[in-house]
Protein backbone atom coordinates (compact mmCIF):
# COMPACT_ATOMS: atom_id res chain seq x y z
CA UNK A 1 0.00 0.00 0.00
CA UNK A 2 1.43 3.33 -1.06
CA UNK A 3 1.98 5.85 1.78
CA UNK A 4 0.40 9.25 1.39
CA UNK A 5 3.04 11.96 0.71
CA UNK A 6 1.31 14.17 3.28
CA UNK A 7 1.68 11.52 6.00
CA UNK A 8 5.39 11.05 5.09
CA UNK A 9 6.12 14.79 5.29
CA UNK A 10 4.35 14.99 8.62
CA UNK A 11 6.66 12.31 10.04
CA UNK A 12 9.90 14.05 8.93
CA UNK A 13 10.20 16.33 12.03
CA UNK A 14 9.78 13.30 14.31
CA UNK A 15 12.46 11.34 12.43
CA UNK A 16 14.85 14.30 12.57
CA UNK A 17 14.28 14.70 16.28
CA UNK A 18 15.10 11.03 16.87
CA UNK A 19 18.29 11.20 14.77
CA UNK A 20 19.50 14.45 16.30
CA UNK A 21 18.77 13.22 19.80
CA UNK A 22 20.80 10.05 19.19
CA UNK A 23 23.96 11.98 18.29
CA UNK A 24 25.89 13.04 21.40
CA UNK A 25 26.84 16.69 21.66
CA UNK A 26 30.50 17.29 20.78
CA UNK A 27 32.79 17.55 23.80
CA UNK A 28 34.85 20.71 23.70
CA UNK A 29 38.20 20.12 25.38
CA UNK A 30 39.25 22.83 27.80
CA UNK A 31 42.76 24.11 27.21
CA UNK A 32 45.19 23.07 29.95
CA UNK A 33 46.81 25.81 31.99
CA UNK A 34 50.36 26.41 30.81
CA UNK A 35 53.08 24.89 32.92
CA UNK A 36 55.87 26.83 31.17
CA UNK A 37 56.39 30.39 32.34
CA UNK A 38 59.10 33.03 32.17
CA UNK A 39 60.73 35.52 34.48
CA UNK A 40 63.08 38.49 33.95
CA UNK A 41 60.90 40.03 31.23
CA UNK A 42 60.84 36.77 29.33
CA UNK A 43 64.60 36.15 29.43
CA UNK A 44 64.44 32.96 31.49
CA UNK A 45 62.07 30.01 31.15
CA UNK A 46 60.92 27.45 33.72
CA UNK A 47 58.46 24.55 33.68
CA UNK A 48 56.22 23.95 36.68
CA UNK A 49 55.90 20.37 37.96
CA UNK A 50 53.12 18.14 36.69
CA UNK A 51 49.89 18.54 38.62
CA UNK A 52 50.52 22.16 39.59
CA UNK A 53 47.59 24.31 38.48
CA UNK A 54 48.22 27.75 37.10
CA UNK A 55 45.75 30.22 38.60
CA UNK A 56 44.94 33.90 38.48
CA UNK A 57 47.28 35.74 40.88
CA UNK A 58 45.59 36.92 44.07
CA UNK A 59 47.40 40.26 43.92
CA UNK A 60 48.72 42.43 41.10
CA UNK A 61 52.32 42.38 42.34
CA UNK A 62 52.45 38.63 41.59
CA UNK A 63 53.28 37.90 37.96
CA UNK A 64 52.56 34.15 37.93
CA UNK A 65 50.88 31.89 40.48
CA UNK A 66 50.33 28.15 40.86
CA UNK A 67 48.13 26.14 43.24
CA UNK A 68 49.59 22.87 44.52
CA UNK A 69 47.18 20.16 45.74
CA UNK A 70 47.37 19.01 49.36
CA UNK A 71 46.82 15.26 49.52
CA UNK A 72 46.91 14.91 53.30
CA UNK A 73 44.30 16.02 55.83
CA UNK A 74 44.45 17.87 59.13
CA UNK A 75 44.25 15.84 62.38
CA UNK A 76 40.53 16.59 62.57
CA UNK A 77 40.01 15.21 59.06
CA UNK A 78 39.43 18.53 57.31
CA UNK A 79 41.27 19.10 54.01
CA UNK A 80 44.51 21.04 54.27
CA UNK A 81 44.83 24.31 52.32
CA UNK A 82 46.46 24.00 48.93
CA UNK A 83 50.08 24.98 48.57
CA UNK A 84 50.86 28.19 46.73
CA UNK A 85 53.75 29.28 44.51
CA UNK A 86 54.10 32.93 43.60
CA UNK A 87 56.51 34.45 41.10
CA UNK A 88 57.40 38.13 41.09
CA UNK A 89 60.14 40.68 40.65
CA UNK A 90 60.91 42.97 43.59
CA UNK A 91 63.51 45.31 44.99
CA UNK A 92 65.84 44.86 47.91
CA UNK A 93 68.95 42.79 48.42
CA UNK A 94 69.00 39.03 48.77
CA UNK A 95 69.84 39.35 52.46
CA UNK A 96 67.04 41.85 53.13
CA UNK A 97 64.45 39.57 51.54
CA UNK A 98 65.71 36.53 53.42
CA UNK A 99 65.36 38.44 56.67
CA UNK A 100 61.82 39.46 55.68
CA UNK A 101 60.91 35.83 55.05
CA UNK A 102 62.41 34.74 58.36
CA UNK A 103 60.28 37.35 60.12
CA UNK A 104 57.12 35.83 58.61
CA UNK A 105 57.73 32.62 60.59
CA UNK A 106 57.77 31.92 64.31
CA UNK A 107 58.91 28.79 66.16
CA UNK A 108 56.82 26.79 68.66
CA UNK A 109 59.73 26.89 71.12
CA UNK A 110 60.29 30.61 70.63
CA UNK A 111 63.66 30.00 68.98
CA UNK A 112 65.26 31.73 66.03
CA UNK A 113 63.69 30.95 62.67
CA UNK A 114 66.88 31.98 60.89
CA UNK A 115 68.96 29.47 62.88
CA UNK A 116 66.49 26.68 62.07
CA UNK A 117 66.49 27.51 58.34
CA UNK A 118 68.93 26.57 55.60
CA UNK A 119 70.21 28.36 52.51
CA UNK A 120 72.40 27.38 49.61
CA UNK A 121 73.77 29.05 46.50
CA UNK A 122 73.30 27.72 42.99
CA UNK A 123 74.41 28.85 39.55
CA UNK A 124 71.70 28.20 36.98
CA UNK A 125 71.25 29.64 33.47
CA UNK A 126 74.20 31.99 34.09
CA UNK A 127 72.45 33.47 37.11
CA UNK A 128 73.13 33.33 40.82
CA UNK A 129 70.30 31.66 42.71
CA UNK A 130 69.81 31.62 46.48
CA UNK A 131 67.67 28.75 47.72
CA UNK A 132 66.10 28.90 51.20
CA UNK A 133 64.13 26.36 53.27
CA UNK A 134 62.06 27.64 56.24
CA UNK A 135 59.62 25.89 58.58
CA UNK A 136 57.43 26.96 61.52
CA UNK A 137 54.22 28.91 62.05
CA UNK A 138 53.69 31.08 58.99
CA UNK A 139 52.10 34.51 59.20
CA UNK A 140 50.08 34.26 56.00
CA UNK A 141 48.98 37.43 54.22
CA UNK A 142 47.45 36.02 51.00
CA UNK A 143 46.87 39.43 49.42
CA UNK A 144 50.43 40.59 50.04
CA UNK A 145 52.23 42.34 52.91
CA UNK A 146 51.06 45.80 51.88
CA UNK A 147 47.40 45.07 51.10
CA UNK A 148 46.16 45.73 54.62
CA UNK A 149 44.21 42.47 54.84
CA UNK A 150 44.06 40.25 57.89
CA UNK A 151 46.98 37.87 58.33
CA UNK A 152 46.45 34.27 59.45
CA UNK A 153 48.83 32.20 61.60
CA UNK A 154 49.35 28.79 60.00
CA UNK A 155 51.22 26.29 62.23
CA UNK A 156 53.17 23.45 60.64
CA UNK A 157 54.04 25.29 57.43
CA UNK A 158 57.12 25.12 55.24
CA UNK A 159 58.47 27.51 52.61
CA UNK A 160 60.88 26.79 49.80
CA UNK A 161 61.98 29.86 47.89
CA UNK A 162 64.49 30.83 45.26
CA UNK A 163 65.88 34.29 44.58
CA UNK A 164 67.13 34.55 41.00
CA UNK A 165 69.56 37.41 40.47
CA UNK A 166 70.38 39.24 37.26
CA UNK A 167 71.24 42.59 35.75
CA UNK A 168 67.52 42.98 35.07
CA UNK A 169 66.76 42.71 38.81
CA UNK A 170 65.93 40.00 41.31
CA UNK A 171 63.05 37.56 40.88
CA UNK A 172 61.42 35.59 43.65
CA UNK A 173 59.81 32.15 43.40
CA UNK A 174 58.15 31.29 46.70
CA UNK A 175 56.45 27.94 47.35
CA UNK A 176 54.73 27.56 50.71
CA UNK A 177 51.98 25.54 52.33
CA UNK A 178 51.35 22.78 54.86
CA UNK A 179 54.65 21.02 55.55
CA UNK A 180 53.29 17.68 54.32
CA UNK A 181 52.38 19.26 50.98
CA UNK A 182 55.71 21.03 50.55
CA UNK A 183 57.56 17.87 51.61
CA UNK A 184 55.80 15.93 48.85
CA UNK A 185 56.74 18.48 46.18
CA UNK A 186 60.12 19.68 47.46
CA UNK A 187 62.18 17.65 44.99
CA UNK A 188 59.98 18.80 42.09
CA UNK A 189 60.37 22.45 43.11
CA UNK A 190 64.15 22.14 43.24
CA UNK A 191 64.18 20.32 39.89
CA UNK A 192 62.15 23.19 38.40
CA UNK A 193 64.69 25.74 39.65
CA UNK A 194 67.70 23.71 38.52
CA UNK A 195 66.03 23.21 35.11
CA UNK A 196 65.75 26.95 34.48
CA UNK A 197 67.06 27.88 31.00
CA UNK A 198 67.43 31.01 28.89
CA UNK A 199 64.19 31.47 26.98
CA UNK A 200 64.36 30.89 23.23
CA UNK A 201 63.89 34.06 21.20
> Domains of the chain: which residue ranges?
36-198
CATH dotted code for 36-198 = 3.40.1000.10
Is the confidence at residue 119, as pLDDT, over 80? yes
Percent of the chain with pLDDT over 70: 79
Question: What tens digit of pLDDT does each residue of 60-97 get?
Answer: 999 999 999 998 888 888 889 999 999 999 889 999 99
Element (H, E) at 136: strand 127-140
Residue 168 binned pLDDT confidence (cut-offs 50, 70, 90):
confident
SS3 state of residue 141: coil
Q: In whole numbers, what is the pLDDT of the chain averaged over residues?
A: 84
Give the side-chain half-sphere CA count within 13 A for 51.
11
Amino acid sequence: MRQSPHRFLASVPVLLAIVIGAVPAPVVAQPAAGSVFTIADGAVSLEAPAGWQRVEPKTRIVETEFSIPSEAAAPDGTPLPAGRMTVMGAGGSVEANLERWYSQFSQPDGGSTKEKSSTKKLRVADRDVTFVDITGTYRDAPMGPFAGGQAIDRPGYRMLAAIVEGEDGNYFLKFYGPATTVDAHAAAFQKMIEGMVPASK
